[in-house]
Amino acid sequence: MPRTFTSVFGEPEDFQAALSEEGVVRFLVTGHGQFRARLTQIVLHRLRLSAGEEELSRIAFISVPAGMVLVTLPIGERSSPVWGGIETRAGAMITLGPRERVHARTGGPCGWGAIQVPDQDLVGYGRALRGAEFVVPPATRWRPRSAAGRHLRHLHQAAIRMAEARPAALIDIEAAHGLEQQLIHALVECLSAGSPDEETPSARRHRGILARFEDLLQAEPFPRTAEIGTALGVSARTLRICCEEQLGMGPAEYVRRRRMQLVHRALRNGNPDAASISAVARRYGFRGIGRFAANYRALFGELPSATLRRGLHPGMAHLELRRPRGPV
């Protein structure tokens, strides 16, 4: 049964959870201020469509689900994320194959669209429509012909608008099936006649290093900076180049921001053990409580005590999230 969802988010953890089935493993806000995002998702028989608008810069770590191809395309007037160091230029789109792992970062307010399609379906349709072998490279930026690209973006945008304005219209099985057929046909046309910029061996190696960096941080959240390169089997210079290229910051800064996010999550969860903010800060490696509180406020737009109060009194947070703040 087709399903549609449209949600507004005031916490990055909730936004990440909503995108978890689409492969978002971790989500780190790097901009300062109050997080706000809007997300529309459409789940059809074969395809998943989504469109997001975000206000703050961030870094997302994505692992494309097994058996799926992820297609990303710019929407609206806002800038698009940089995927594994690859910019999504106007009129272009990016494909990532099954199980590909990549960081997607933004430098401010952004808008993006995505389509997930089973790899076997895409290959099968491609062979049927082209009458020839059809292969989608693992990580590639495509520049489809103008008419084909416009048609795909139009179908995606029309589906998103319908999901937001008249979601019941997409619950009709025949309408959803017809939309899927049109989208897959348009996607195959874009990939068949498009001009591909395939990922270079160097870029692929750098992306793999950063994926293993994420694995390391998952196993050991507080590694010493000098030990990270050794654990990954790369030089400090190579690690720094990879991080600057794909994360927009050095490895030490990325680890520090991840630790700050862990503090925010602990306080927001409202665990009674988090009643001592200084104890939580120390647990995640922060010593000077005054400097920590100032950095925390600059990053999240509120003092740690405000986050803790909202965590301990979720009813108050519920009301606060619904206070009018203007459009996302």
How high does pLDDT run on average in the chain? 87
Question: What pLDDT, on the 0 to 100 scale, is given for residue 235?
Answer: 95
Mean pLDDT, rounded, for 269-287 = 78
**What pLDDT, on a 0 to 100 scale, did the predictor assign at position 9?**
96
What's the pLDDT band for 156 if we cut at 50, 70, 90? very high
Same domain, 206 and 150: no
Q: How many domains is the chain partitioned into structurally?
A: 3
CATH of the domain at 185: 2.60.120.10
Instruction: Mark out the alpha helices in the chain (DSSP H runs).
Output: 12-18, 119-130, 146-165, 173-193, 201-219, 225-232, 236-246, 251-268, 277-283, 289-300, 304-312, 314-321
Q: 210, 243 in Cβ contact below 8 A? A: yes
DSSP category for residue 77: S
Same domain? 193 vs 218: no
Q: Which domain holds residue 181?
A: 3-197
pLDDT at 316: 46
How far apart are the C-alpha atoms of 298 and 157, rounded to whole Å?
Answer: 35
What's the pLDDT at 90? 82
Phi and psi based region of residue 76 (left: phi greater than 0; alpha: psi -120 to 50; beta: remaining): left
Does one domain contain both 108 and 174? yes
Close Cβ partners of 124 (under 8 Å, ≥ 6 residues apart): none
Q: Residue 255 maps to which CATH number?
A: 1.10.10.60
pLDDT digit string (tens) for 11-70?
899 999 999 999 999 999 999 888 999 999 999 999 999 999 999 999 999 999 999 999
End-to-end CA distance of the chain: 29
Q: How far apart are CA 140 and CA 138, in angstroms?
A: 7
* 144 and 57 assigned to the same domain: yes
DSSP 212-265: HHHHHHHH-SS--HHHHHHHHTS-HHHHHHHHHHHTSS-HHHHHHHHHHHHHHH
CA distances 167 to 103, 141, 219, 288, Å, are: 31, 32, 41, 50
Per-residue pLDDT at 221: 81
Q: Tell me, what's the pLDDT at 321?
A: 38
Tell me the per-residue pLDDT of 221-237, one tens digit each, with 9 for 90 and over: 888 888 899 999 999 99
Two structure tokens written together for 11: 């916490």
Q: What is the pLDDT of residue 62?
A: 97
Are residues 20 and 121 part of one domain?
Answer: yes
pTM: 0.87
pLDDT of residue 125: 87
What's the Cα-to-Cα distance from 102 to each of 81, 210, 239, rounded to whole Å? Answer: 12, 8, 16
pLDDT in tens, 165-209: 887 777 677 878 889 999 999 999 999 877 788 889 999 999 999
* Co-location of 79 and 187 in the same domain: yes
Strand partners, 40: 6, 51
The pLDDT tens digits of the residues spanning 112-122 come to: 999 999 999 99
**Does residue 171 sit in the same domain as residue 210?**
no
pLDDT confidence band for 314 (50 / 70 / 90): low
pLDDT the model gives residue 96: 95
Report the pLDDT averaged over residues 130-157.
Answer: 88
**Percent above pLDDT 70 for the chain:** 93
Among the candidates 134, 166, 197, a domain finishes at: 197
Write down the pLDDT at residue 317.
40
Burial (CB count <10 Å: 0-12, 13-18, 19+), residue 233? exposed
Is the pLDDT at 102 greater than 80? The verdict is yes
pLDDT at 273 over 80: no
Assess whether 124 and 65 both reside in one domain: yes
Same domain for 178 and 205?
Answer: no
Regarding whether 155 and 63 lie in a shared domain, the answer is yes
Q: How confident is the model at residue 153 (pLDDT cuts 50, 70, 90)?
A: very high
Distance of CA 8 to the CA centre of its chain: 15
Specify whether 205 is located in the same domain as 233. Answer: yes
Q: Are residues 51 and 193 in the same domain?
A: yes
**What's the pLDDT score for residue 142?**
92
Cα dihedral 117→49→44→19 (10° resolution) = 90
